């Protein structure tokens, strides 16, 4: 499942009230387990041939030492003693884009060099290495028995702050220690990490391997994508982290992975180490319903609008096409995640399942006086708070994004001025302050895309029109409510143009809003300012509801988790993913995607060429076809082709992109890069019958690098076994 990289990684965080539906029991067919939980899993019975301590060892030396997190939100791994890193092509995408020019599109052509001296800087990239992970829940909660509300929060904060300070003082030089709350306070974990800032691109295949199939094949099986890229970490000569310098030397990792090119077969045991970005699998039915009916449908529609708008601009501007292609890929990927997730939640009747479980919980609580004392009002409080917060959910998800900071530069600046100069705290700026504000506005305007802003304003105005009757947005209805169909669309387009291309397209005019107001009446101007004021007022009301929700929900969700855990008779659960190091395991396994259809777990280059049309995104490289025709597979073939991708039922999520998938001996056999469409919604609901991880077979990675890319020197750095 592709990670959402760069500045758009925060979309889900900004907009989603997350949810989940999976079991609170430590179920052995699912879970993104914290490293300290690995030793408690029945892995020997499942097929693991090494000791759990060889995977994670608090004293160091385990395989987890080789697995790292990329700053753009992906996983990666060290694969040689010389700091060589393997990750996904889509995780290295931004580095290729930033190094490209209109005459040299490295996404299209790929990147190769004959040695380390030709490696290029991965601009904006760094890596994070995890030195230590520790469950410190007991330490953080020490002395909190009998405390509640503000006293409880203060004690927990004091404990966490003191522990973090003490552990930071003992940490390795250059390391950062942080303590993080998980699952509304059910867990507290300590993480010690260090950062390396000089990352370089070593080898990347061309687009028609690294992104073969493009958006049409995204989250689909069958799949034939060589989604991999090699990077390298560099440090100062003394081994310390340093910014890019030609004097830097390759980093010497504590551990690197061994590649196994012996191949896999159906039902083989495999496991994944990585940094899954975020799950919320311990949430109440009302949050699931909110995501299914309001938040996810909006996100899918919104991301589609962003993607289509930027793609249209790129059709007539090659420089912008190159610059926008990473953003478009992220938008398209995320659009599918949210649209497919909403569909899956509905088809799997996840809300109904959770409601049934809550009915059981209510009966369980009512059957015991002690439970009634501890949990008696839990479900009624959750219901009341959720129903109040989500009553106008479809309108609220729009209001939280208007004005859209990703596209609406002009309207964002006008909105900020209106907010600053309205209400009880209104303040007009002095001439000096307005001059400083003008510089900031001019800087923002230097990066704006007027056509993009116009399209996105029209998108939101159209979305307001589509709201149900009981959730209409009054400021929009005041402007356009008397119009229908094309007449309303035309009026909305004219209004959008008056914002993006009217007088406030001048930074000076916006800065003027912070000063004395002119008495001159201008109808168009007043419509814009009135609409902005209306958005501000509605946003304030929405923010007040959200603040009340946030002030109460952690306490209720902690009780909810405790109650369900107690009802099930176990206190052991795996914590929700939070971009920290995790372990999951399973088997190579196909699935039944629908009635009368079974998807087998392996694809080969032969299937890739069956899809080939010669047209992007199904334009396989001629050299790859020639290698297949000659059966020139080197040491990487199996039968009459090379395996490209394979499936497993390991439990992953966005952020796991680039994670190594390893065999029973702890040797890397592939590289995770996606999930299947039928398994979407797995942020919140894991289904062992449908959820599948799609990985690049390590043999295809090495075959492309050596035989297609003529970069055998990269392969020679690695340790290969199995043939």
Beta strands in 183-318 (DSSP E): 187-196, 198-203, 229-235, 249-250, 259-260, 269-274
Alpha helices in 612-697 (DSSP H): 622-629
Report the C-alpha gap between 160 and 181 in whole angstroms: 10
* Cβ-proximal residues to 123 (8 Å cutoff; 6+ apart), any chain: 94, 95, 98, 99
Report the C-alpha gap between 183 and 34 in whole angstroms: 13
Which among 463, 535, 459, 453 is positioned nearest to 502, based on CA atoms?
453
Report the C-alpha gap between 720 and 33 in whole angstroms: 28
Q: State the DSSP code for 185.
A: G
Report the C-alpha gap between 275 and 127 in whole angstroms: 12
- List pLDDT tens digits, range 70-129: 999 999 999 999 999 999 999 999 999 999 999 999 999 999 999 999 999 999 999 999
- The class of domain 29-126+197-281+574-721 in CATH terms is mainly beta
* Cβ-proximal residues to 489 (8 Å cutoff; 6+ apart), any chain: 458, 462
Long-range pairs for 28-32: beta carbons < 8 A, 24 or more residues apart: 29/586, 29/649, 29/688, 30/584, 30/651, 30/686, 30/688, 30/691, 31/574, 31/584, 31/651, 32/276, 32/279, 32/574, 32/577, 32/582, 32/583, 32/584, 32/651, 32/652, 32/653
Domain residue limits, the chain: 29-126+197-281+574-721, 285-548
Measure the CA angle with vertex 568, ends 277 and 148; round to 5°. 70
Residue 519's pLDDT is what?
A: 59
* Cβ pair 586, 656 in contact under 8 A: no
Report the C-alpha gap between 221 and 602 in whole angstroms: 10
Percent residues over pLDDT 70 in the chain: 95
Report the C-alpha gap between 462 and 620 in whole angstroms: 40
Report the C-alpha gap between 301 and 164 in whole angstroms: 42
Residue 29's pLDDT is what?
A: 60
Percent residues over pLDDT 90 in the chain: 89
Report the C-alpha gap between 101 and 324 in whole angstroms: 12
Report the C-alpha gap between 671 and 226 in whole angstroms: 10
Residue 19's pLDDT is what?
A: 31
User: How do strand 127-135 and strand 67-70 relate by DSSP bridges?
Assistant: antiparallel
* Cβ pair 277, 653 in contact under 8 A: yes
The pTM for the full model equals 0.91
Helix (H, G, I), strand (E, B), or coil: what is residue 525?
helix
Which among 408, 413, 419 is positioned nearest to 441, based on CA atoms?
413
H or E stretch at 539 = helix 523-568
Q: Please count the other Cβ atoms lying within 10 Å of the Cβ belonging to residue 105.
A: 19
* H helix and E strand count, the chain: 27, 21
Angle separating helix axes 409-420 and 485-500, nearest 10 degrees: 80
Residue 573's pLDDT is what?
A: 79
User: How do strand 720-721 and strand 259-260 relate by DSSP bridges?
Assistant: parallel
Report the C-alpha gap between 502 and 500 in whole angstroms: 6
Chain-centroid distance of CA 478 in Å reads 38
Alpha-carbon distances of 598 from 222, 588, 590, 674, rounded to whole Å:
11, 14, 7, 19
Q: Which residues of the chain have pLDDT under 50?
A: 3-28, 571
Residue 518's pLDDT is what?
A: 65
Report the C-alpha gap between 178 and 161 in whole angstroms: 9
Task: Tell me phi and psi for residue 575, to 5 degrees.
Answer: -70, 150
* Cβ pair 51, 620 in contact under 8 A: no
Alpha-carbon distances of 34 from 154, 160, 706, rounded to whole Å:
27, 19, 36
């Amino acid at each position: 499942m592709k990670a959402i990289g760069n500045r758009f990684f925060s979309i889900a965080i900004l907009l989603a009230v997350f949810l989940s539906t999976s079991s609170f029991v430590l179920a052995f067919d699912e879970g993104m387990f914290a490293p300290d939980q690995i030793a408690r899993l029945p892995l020997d019975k499942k097929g693991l041939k090494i000791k759990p301590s060889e995977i994670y060892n608090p004293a160091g030396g385990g395989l987890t030492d080789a697995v790292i997190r990329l700053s753009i939100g992906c996983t990666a791994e060290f694969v040689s003693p010389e700091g060589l890193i393997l990750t996904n092509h889509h995780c290295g995408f931004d580095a290729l884009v930033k190094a490209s020019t209109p005459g040299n599109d490295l996404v299209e052509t790929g990147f190769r060099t004959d040695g380390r001296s030709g490696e290029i800087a991965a601009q904006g990239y760094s890596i994070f290495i995890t030195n230590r992970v520790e469950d410190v829940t007991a330490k953080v909660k020490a002395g909190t028995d009998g405390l509640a509300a503000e006293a409880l929060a203060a004690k927990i904060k004091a404990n966490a702050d003191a522990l973090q300070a003490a552990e930071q003082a003992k940490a390795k030089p250059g390391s950062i220690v942080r303590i993080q709350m998980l699952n509304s306070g059910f867990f507290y974990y300590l993480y010690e990490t260090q950062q390396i800032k000089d990352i370089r691109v070593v080898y990347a295949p061309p687009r028609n391997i690294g992104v073969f199939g493009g958006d049409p094949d995204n989250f689909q099986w069958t799949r034939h994508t060589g989604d991999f890229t090699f990077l390298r970490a560099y440090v100062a000569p003394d081994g310390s982290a340093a910014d890019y310098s030609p004097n830097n030397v390759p980093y010497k990792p504590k551990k690197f992975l061994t590649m196994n090119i012996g191949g896999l077969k159906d039902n083989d045991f495999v496991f994944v180490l990585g940094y899954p970005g975020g799950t919320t699998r311990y949430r109440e039915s009302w949050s699931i319903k909110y995501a299914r009916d309001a938040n996810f449908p909006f996100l899918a529609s919104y991301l589609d609008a962003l993607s289509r708008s930027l793609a249209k601009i790129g059709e007539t501007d090659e420089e912008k096409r190159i610059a926008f292609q990473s953003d478009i890929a992220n938008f398209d990927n995320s659009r599918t995640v949210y649209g497919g997730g909403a569909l899956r939640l509905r088809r799997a009747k996840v809300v109904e399942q959770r409601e049934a479980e809550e009915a059981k919980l209510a009966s369980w609580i009512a059957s015991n006086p002690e439970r009634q004392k501890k949990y008696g009002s839990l479900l009624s409080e959750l219901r009341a708070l959720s129903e109040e917060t989500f009553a106008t959910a479809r309108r609220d998800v729009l209001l939280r994004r208007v004005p859209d900071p990703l596209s609406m530069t002009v309207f964002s600046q006008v909105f900020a001025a209106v907010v600053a100069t309205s209400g009880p705290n209104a303040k007009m700026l002095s001439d000096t302050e307005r001059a400083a504000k003008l510089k900031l506005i001019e800087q923002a305007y230097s990066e704006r895309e007027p056509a993009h802003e116009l399209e996105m304003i029209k998108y939101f105005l159209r979305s307001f029109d589509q709201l149900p009757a009981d959730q209409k947005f009054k400021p929009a209805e005041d402007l356009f409510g008397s119009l229908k169909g094309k007449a309303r669309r035309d009026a909305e387009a004219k209004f959008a143009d008056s914002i993006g291309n009217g007088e406030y397209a001048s930074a000076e005019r916006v800065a003027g809003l912070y000063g004395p107001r002119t008495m001159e009446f201008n109808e168009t101007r007043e419509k814009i300012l009135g609409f902005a004021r209306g958005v501000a007022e509605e946003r304030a009301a929405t923010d007040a509801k959200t603040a009340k929700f946030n002030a109460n929900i952690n306490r209720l969700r902690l009780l909810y988790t405790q109650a369900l855990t107690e009802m099930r008779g176990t206190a052991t659960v795996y914590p929700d993913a939070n971009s920290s190091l995790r372990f999951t395991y399973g088997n190579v396994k196909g699935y039944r995607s629908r009635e009368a259809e079974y998807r087998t777990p392996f694809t080969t280059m032969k299937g890739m060429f069956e899809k080939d049309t010669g047209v992007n995104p199904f334009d396989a490289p001629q050299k790859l076809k020639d290698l297949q025709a000659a059966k020139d597979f080197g040491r990487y073939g199996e039968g009459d082709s090379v395996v490209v991708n394979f499936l497993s039922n390991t439990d992953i999520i966005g952020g796991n992109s680039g994670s190594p998938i390893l065999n029973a001996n702890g040797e890397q056999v592939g590289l995770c890069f996606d999930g299947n469409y039928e398994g979407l919604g797995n942020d919140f609901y894991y289904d062992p019958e449908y959820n599948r991880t799609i990985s690049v077979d390590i043999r295809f990675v090495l075959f492309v690098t050596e035989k297609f890319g003529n970069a055998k020197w990269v392969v020679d750095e690695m340790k290969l076994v199995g043939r």
